[in-house]
């Protein structure tokens, strides 16, 4: 029986495709430090489970399609800290940021439409868009420029009558780059001039280092009717398995229509919403402490990378990733070699090949993405193993 062309043309997750190799070598007894996936090791705040344990109901009922009011209000309050004000109809709760991205794409694009995305980009953007026959037009950014945006002209020339939106993650996965205010203003200008939506994926908001403050697109008033903010508890509150995200937008027509998709899937898990509401109520002291921890990890990664001859990478300022060009021809081959051939005291590392984060063929072949999601001691060890591995591989 035939499968759809759509599903067959979807790429396998580049982050997960090497997992079977890692599983095999681990079974053979090797210890692998996982730098390949954005799964934080930080404990989920206890407030999440406490709220669920205290939930007093004999029946776990469907929640509202829009989401639990207590969670919606907690998210609204969270935005107020940055002087961004949403009313209760301007937030929709989703199954993670993933569903928020899928719903937003379905709501604003028809099959054959295009979305501009700075590349390298979070690889599942291809899945969310390709699954509904929407294509990504990459805005190529480079390691040498710290993955900041190119000029306005370079972006504008990619726009066609089929372009419906600009989508980006800020802070960036996989780049760790935080867009400056002037870059966000440039995006806003382009969106106004070419009548585009702006899908601002802010699931890493709060992870901003060196005194920087990640700016929410929600604070640019001139585009408030075009901005769709993607939210999630996965990273900020280390609750990836809770599957709680949200769409925030001041465009009432858009929200009214996305609500139809929310109704079609009935609701998001009731208990997890109750837990997630408490996460959004955590004070800035919590986010500050997490930030300090990730900044220390970032420093370990960067300090090692800059000392390795032939490595190109700018210091990342946000999220918990870095993309680095390595002195190898093919990063995927090197990653596999690290898994299968290399070890020191029975230990090695796993990274993600960056090629899959680009949609332009031929880019990223010699690059890796490192997720610094391990404690500082393990990060020191993992980066030591990377340095040793590269020395051996190139000797």
Piece in contact with ligand PLP (CB under 6 A), picked from 67-75, 95-103, 261-269, 366-374? 95-103
Q: Is 157 in a helix, a strand, or coil? A: coil
Q: What is 329-392 written as a DSSP string?
A: S-HHHHHHHHHHT--BTTEEEE-EEGGGG--STTTTTTEEEEE--S-HHHHHHHHHHHHHHHHH
Which residue from 169, 177, 216, 359 is in contact with ligand PLP, where contact means CB under 6 A? 169
Binders of ligand PLP among residues 114 to 133 (CB under 6 A) are 122
Crossing angle, helix 19-27 and helix 331-340, to 10 degrees? 20
Q: Which is nearer to ligand PLP, 34 or 381 (CB)?
A: 34
SS3 content of the chain, % helix, strand, coil (to 5): 40, 15, 40
> Among the candidate windows 46-54, 93-101, 175-183, 366-374, which touches ligand PLP by CB under 6 A?
93-101
The site map against ligand PLP for 13-52 (x = CB under 6 A) is: -------------------------x--------------
Least separation in angstroms between CB 263 and ligand PLP = 20
Selected binder of ligand PLP within 201, 332, 355, 378 (CB under 6 A): 201
Cα-Cα-Cα-Cα torsion 15, 20, 23, 24, nearest 10 degrees, comes to -140
Minimum separation from the CB atom of position 374 to ligand PLP (A): 16
Q: How far apart are CA 93 and CA 75, in angstroms?
A: 10
Q: What is the DSSP-derived secondary structure letter of residue 143?
A: G
| Count of residues touching ligand PLP (by CB under 6 A) | 13
Q: Supply the minimum distance, in Å, between the C-beta of residue 5 and ligand PLP.
A: 26
CB of 373 to ligand PLP, least distance (A): 11
Inter-CA distances, 252 with 89, 164, 224, 295, 319, Å: 8, 18, 11, 38, 30
Least separation in angstroms between CB 203 and ligand PLP: 5
Shortest Cβ distance from residue 392 to ligand PLP (Å)?
A: 31
**102 counts as binding ligand PLP under rule CB under 6 A:** no
For ligand PLP, the closer of residues 240 and 259 by Cβ is 240
- Shortest distance, CB of residue 231 to ligand PLP, whole angstroms? 8
Contact residue for ligand PLP among 96, 206, 218, 356 (CB under 6 A) = 96
Tell me the closest approach of the beta carbon of residue 298 to ligand PLP, in angstroms: 16
Q: How far is the CB of 321 from ligand PLP (least distance, A)?
A: 8
Q: Is 98 in the site for ligand PLP (CB under 6 A)?
A: yes
* Binding residue for ligand PLP, selected from 156, 159, 240, 282, defined by CB under 6 A: 240
Residue 321 vs 342, nearer CB to ligand PLP: 321
Q: Does residue 97 interact with ligand PLP by CB under 6 A?
A: yes
**Residue 147 lies near ligand PLP (rule: CB under 6 A):** no
115-118: which pairs have CB atoms within 8 A and are 24 or more residues apart? 115/163, 115/164, 115/165, 115/166, 115/167, 115/199, 116/155, 116/158, 116/159, 116/163, 116/165, 116/166, 116/167, 116/196, 117/166, 117/167, 117/168, 117/359, 118/147, 118/149, 118/168, 118/172
- Report the run of H or E that residue 94 belongs to, with start and end: strand 91-95
**Counting contacts by CB under 6 A, is residue 202 touching ligand PLP?**
no
What one-character DSSP code corresponds to residue 34? E
Q: How many CA atoms lie within 13 A of 160 on its CB side?
A: 10
C-beta of 202 vs 278, nearer to ligand PLP: 202
The CA distance from 163 to 146, in Å, is 26
Q: How many of the other CB atoms lie within 10 Å of CB of 105?
A: 24
Applying CB under 6 A, does 203 fall inside the site for ligand PLP? Answer: yes
Residue nearest to ligand PLP (CB): 96
Question: In the window 296-355, what residues touch ligand PLP (CB under 6 A)?
Answer: none
Which helix H or strand E contains 185, and what residues bound it? helix 181-194
Part of the chain binding ligand PLP (CB under 6 A), chosen from 91-99, 154-162, 330-338, 355-363 = 91-99
Q: Which is nearer to ligand PLP, 245 or 353 (CB)?
A: 245
Closest CA to 303 of 324, 331, 328, 327: 324
Beta-carbon contacts of residue 134 (< 8 Å; ≥ 6 apart): 105, 109, 111, 112, 113, 114, 115, 164
**Interface ranges with ligand PLP (CB under 6 A):** 38, 96-98, 122, 169, 173, 201, 203, 232, 234, 240, 245
């Amino acid at each position: 029986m035939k499968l759809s062309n759509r599903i067959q043309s979807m790429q396998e997750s580049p982050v997960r495709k090497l997992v079977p190799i890692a599983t095999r070598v681990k079974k053979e007894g090797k210890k692998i430090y996982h730098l390949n996936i954005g799964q934080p090791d930080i404990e989920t705040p206890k407030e999440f489970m406490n709220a669920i344990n205290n939930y007093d109901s004999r029946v776990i009922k469907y929640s509202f399609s829009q989401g639990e009011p207590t969670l919606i209000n907690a998210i609204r309050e969270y935005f107020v800290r940055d002087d961004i004000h949403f009313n209760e109809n301007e937030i929709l709760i989703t199954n993670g940021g993933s569903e928020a991205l899928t719903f937003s794409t379905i709501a604003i694009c028809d099959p054959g439409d295009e979305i501009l995305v700075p590349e390298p980009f979070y690889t599942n953007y291809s899945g969310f868009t390709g699954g509904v026959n929407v294509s990504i037009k990459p805005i190529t950014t480079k390691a040498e420029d710290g993955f900041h945006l190119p000029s306005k002209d370079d972006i504008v020339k990619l726009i066609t009558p089929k372009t419906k939106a600009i989508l980006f993650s800020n802070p960036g996965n996989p780049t760790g780059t935080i867009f400056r205010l002037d870059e966000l203003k440039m995006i806003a200008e382009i969106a106004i001039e070419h009548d585009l939506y702006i899908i601002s994926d802010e699931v890493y908001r709060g992870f901003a280092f060196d005194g920087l403050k990640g700016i929410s697109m929600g604070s640019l008033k001139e585009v408030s009717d075009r901005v769709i903010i993607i939210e999630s508890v996965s990273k900020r509150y280390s609750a990836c398995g809770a599957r709680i995200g949200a769409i925030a937008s001041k465009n009432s027509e858009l929200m009214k229509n996305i609500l139809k998709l929310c109704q079609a899937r009935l609701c998001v898990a009731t208990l997890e919403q109750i837990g997630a509401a408490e996460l959004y109520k955590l004070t800035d002291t919590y986010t500050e402490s997490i930030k300090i921890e990730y900044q220390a990890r970032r420093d370990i990664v960067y300090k090692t990378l800059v000392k390795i001859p032939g490595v190109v990478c700018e210091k990342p300022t946000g999220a918990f990733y870095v993309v680095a060009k390595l002195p190898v021809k093919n990063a995927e081959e090197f990653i596999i070699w690290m898994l299968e051939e290399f070890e020191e005291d029975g230990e090695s590392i796993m990274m993600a090949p960056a090629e899959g984060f680009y949609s332009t063929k031929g880019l990223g072949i010699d690059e890796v993405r490192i997720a610094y999601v391990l404690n500082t001691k393990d990060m020191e060890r993992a980066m030591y193993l990377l340095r040793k591995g590269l020395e051996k591989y190139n000797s």
